[in-house]
Structure 1
Amino acid sequence: MIYMKMSILKMGDFMKVKILLREVRLKKNITLETLARLSGISKGHLSKIERQEREPKISTLIQIAIALNVDVKELYKVIL
């Protein structure tokens, strides 16, 4: 689970954000290798994001969304 500080919440509050990269990628039948090539992000880095071992920057999520041809909002789910 990744925690993102949000300015709309009071100081010290965090939202839980689950990255849905694997689910979206598999739904589109795209391999990690193909996504790495399309996005310019290494396969290893993408794999760590999928396993919630690495917190992606917003710019990284945008690159991934463009490569997958989806809105960036489809790549995460907020859990309050």
Structure 2
Amino acid sequence: MIIIKLAQIRYLHNISLRELEQLCGIGKTTLNNIENDKISPTLFELEKIAIALKIKIEDLYESDYK
């Protein structure tokens, strides 16, 4: 199972959904749905988020297979 840690990482970086939306170009609603596990992000979306937050893609999720 893969758990996306976007909300935790945003909190650590002190960044709002709106700010992240502007940085990565992914809509606020989509980001919110990713955080609330309503949708699974694509690899492209994970890459855009990681670049915007200046972190590795691997830092965005927890997995038994990591």
* Deviation (angstroms), 1:64: 0.2
Q: Which of 71, 77, 80 is the matching residue for 2:56?
A: 71
Q: Which runs of 5+ in 1 are unaligned?
A: 1-15
- Report the TM-score when normalising by structure 2: 0.95
2:26 paired residue number? 41
Identity %: 35
* Deviation (angstroms), 1:79: 3.5
Q: Work out whether 1:61 is the aligned partner of 2:42.
A: no
Output the amino acid matched with 1:44: T
How far apart, CA to CA, are the structure 1 residues paired with 2:15 and 2:64? 26
How far apart, CA to CA, are the structure 2 residues paired with 1:23 and 1:59? 20
How far apart, CA to CA, are the structure 2 residues paired with 1:79 and 1:21? 18
Higher strand content, 1 or 2: 1
Q: Which has the larger radius of gyration?
A: 1
- Report the TM-score when normalising by structure 1: 0.78
Structure with greater contact order relative to length (CA < 8 Å, sep ≥ 6): 2
Q: CA RMSD of the aligned region, Å? A: 0.9
